[in-house]
């Protein structure tokens, strides 16, 4: 089998691969670029694996007229810049000793050693400059085609190397797994047995993984697997996955929204456990607060805007286990287009200071409650 695409045929990619090959070294594209190309997804970043050691990569780049930046030289990674694009070139590695995210590594000469330290079989795929795919461990290509997410080697070993791989397993299941196929039993058992280890992960890393997971087309089966293994309770204590499947169903025809899905899934305050930004926390609170009201769809659109209003409507429907009426998005859009006909100056000098703001808010609420029908004259009267 061969991988193909402009990401591979691009002259910049080929220049970096040729630089290594002409120096007498192995050179392969590896990981996500190969995986995504084989299943027809777009490729953004191209990572390269080689048996050349970091200093050799630097020397070869200089001879080829390419820029080399030692971005991760301690881990064997040199960023080679060709035609303005950066390529991470990493020396084959093997683990000597692992403890959490930190590992003692040694450079390796064999592709099999490098593949053995990767997380999932579908990520242990390599492609030569001509696109020929190499599956050093065997099974990775079949797993990708069958949409089966499996750890490389013993799942428990891979997890102990980095407990974030538990979340990555469920994220990959959401994005690449077959929802009609049971998840890998050995992986689930290892995730359940080592779920407690996630407590040592930083909130930033956990939050980043959950954002990606919840942005999948349908994360519900993966999240239900997280709940069954106890993983969800560690990450989001008190989280209830029961409304997520309905939320995904209600979203038909709408772009996935990880924040609205978090709103239906998580307890009231996930801001600290996932380290949300201030803007994300504020938007989450607004969606939840308005979803808890009986405001009309048009009112949600007016108070929140079209997209957040839709989020609040979907959240309210998912919580109530109800479907939204046809044309619900049009109603929200209608509300978002409304403009309150009064300004503060219209109430002066009868009102000033705090009383002015309070009166303006009262009239605005009255106008919204009228479905935006009250005129400026009626409001002033």
Query: Per DSSP, what are the bridge partners of residue 95?
Result: 105
381 residues of the chain, pLDDT tens digit each: 899 999 999 999 999 999 999 999 999 999 999 999 999 999 999 999 999 999 999 999 999 999 999 998 888 999 999 999 999 999 999 876 655 555 567 889 999 999 999 999 999 999 999 999 999 999 999 999 999 999 999 999 999 999 999 999 999 999 999 999 999 999 999 999 999 999 999 999 999 999 999 999 999 999 999 999 999 999 999 999 999 999 999 998 899 999 999 999 987 778 778 989 999 999 999 999 999 999 999 999 999 999 999 999 999 999 999 999 999 999 999 999 999 999 999 999 889 999 999 999 999 999 999 999 999 999 998
Q: Where are the alpha helices (DSSP H) in 162-304?
A: 164-176, 185-193, 203-214, 220-229, 231-235, 244-250, 258-265, 271-274, 278-291, 297-304
How is residue 62 written in tokens? 């200089």
What's the confidence (pLDDT) of residue 94? 83
Question: In terms of domains, do 1 and 125 share one?
Answer: yes
What's the confidence (pLDDT) of residue 102? 55
Last residue of a domain, one of 222, 249, 276: 276
Closest CA to 47 of 65, 32, 57, 64: 32
Q: How far apart are CA 350 and CA 344, in angstroms?
A: 11
Closest CA to 151 of 136, 140, 135: 140
Question: In terms of domains, do 292 and 318 share one?
Answer: yes
Question: In terms of domains, do 7 and 132 share one?
Answer: yes
Last residue of a domain, one of 276, 294, 314: 276
Cβ partners under 8 Å of residue 269, min gap 6: none
Q: How many domains does the chain have?
A: 4
Q: Model's pTM, two decimal places?
A: 0.90
Q: The domain spanning residue 211 has which CATH number? A: 1.10.3090.10
Question: In terms of domains, do 131 and 193 share one?
Answer: no
Closest CA to 183 of 199, 198, 195, 166: 166
Last residue of a domain, one of 100, 118, 146: 146
Question: In terms of domains, do 3 and 125 share one?
Answer: yes
Torsion sign across C-alpha atoms 308, 309, 310, 312: positive
DSSP assignments along 59-126, one per residue? HHHHHTT-EEEEEEGGGTEEEEEETTEEEEEEE-EEEEEEETTEEEEEE-S-HHHHHHTSSBGGGS-E
- From the CB of residue 353, how many other CB atoms can be counted at a distance below 10 Å? 7
Question: In terms of domains, do 212 and 307 share one?
Answer: no
Question: In terms of domains, do 289 and 371 share one?
Answer: no
> ∠ CA(183), CA(184), CA(190), 5° rounding?
115
Question: In terms of domains, do 349 and 331 share one?
Answer: no
How is residue 286 written in tokens? 């607004």
Q: How far apart are CA 98 and CA 165, in angstroms?
A: 14
Rounded to the nearest 10 degrees, the angle between the axes of helix 203-214 and helix 258-265 is 110
Q: How far apart are CA 301 and CA 334, in angstroms?
A: 7
Question: In terms of domains, do 26 and 49 share one?
Answer: yes
Torsion sign across C-alpha atoms 167, 172, 173, 179: positive
Question: In terms of domains, do 190 and 134 share one?
Answer: no
Question: In terms of domains, do 254 and 309 share one?
Answer: no
Question: In terms of domains, do 306 and 367 share one?
Answer: no
Q: How far apart are CA 167 and CA 222, in angstroms?
A: 10
| Residue reference for tokens 């930046």 | 69
Q: The domain spanning residue 68 has which CATH number? A: 3.30.460.10
* Structural domain boundaries, residue 347: 339-380
| Residue reference for tokens 């045929």 | 9
């Amino acid at each position: 089998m061969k991988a193909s695409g402009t990401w591979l045929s691009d002259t910049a990619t080929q220049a970096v691969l040729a630089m290594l090959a002409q120096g007498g070294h192995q050179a392969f594209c590896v990981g996500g670029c190969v995986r995504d190309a084989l299943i027809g997804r777009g490729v953004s970043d191209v990572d390269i694996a080689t048996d050349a050691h970091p200093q050799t990569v630097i020397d070869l780049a200089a001879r080829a007229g390419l820029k080399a930046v030692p971005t991760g030289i301690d881990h064997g990674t040199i960023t080679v810049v060709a035609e303005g694009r950066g390529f991470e070139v990493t020396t084959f590695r093997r683990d000597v000793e692992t403890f959490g995210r930190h590992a003692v590594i040694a450079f390796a000469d064999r592709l099999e050693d490098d593949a053995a330290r990767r997380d999932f079989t579908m990520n242990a795929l390599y492609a030569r400059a001509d696109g020929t795919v190499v599956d050093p461990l065997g099974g990775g290509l079949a797993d990708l085609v069958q949409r089966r997410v499996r750890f490389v080697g013993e799942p428990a070993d891979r997890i102990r190397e980095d407990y974030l791989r538990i979340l990555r397993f469920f994220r990959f299941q959401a994005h690449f797994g077959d929802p009609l196929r049971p998840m890998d039993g050995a992986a689930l058992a290892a995730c359940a047995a080592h779920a407690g280890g996630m407590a040592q992960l930083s909130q930033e890393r956990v939050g980043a993984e959950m954002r990606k997971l919840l942005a999948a087309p349908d994360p519900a089966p993966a999240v239900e697997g997280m709940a069954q293994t106890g993983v969800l309770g560690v990450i989001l204590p008190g989280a209830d996955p029961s409304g997520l499947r309905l939320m995904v169903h209600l979203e038909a025809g709408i772009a996935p929204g990880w924040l609205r899905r978090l709103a239906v899934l998580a307890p009231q305050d996930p801001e600290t456990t996932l380290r949300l930004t201030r803007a994300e926390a504020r938007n989450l609170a607004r969606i939840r607060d308005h979803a808890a009201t009986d405001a009309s769809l048009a009112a949600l659109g007016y108070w929140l805007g079209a997209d957040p209003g839709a989020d609040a409507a979907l959240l309210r429907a998912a919580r109530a286990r109800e479907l939204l009426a046809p044309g619900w998005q049009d109603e929200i859009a209608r509300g978002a287009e409304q403009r309150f006909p009064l300004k503060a100056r219209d109430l002066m000098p009868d009102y000033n200071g705090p009383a002015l703001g309070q009166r303006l808010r009262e009239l605005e609420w009255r106008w919204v409650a009228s479905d935006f029908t009250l005129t400026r004259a009626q409001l002033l009267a």
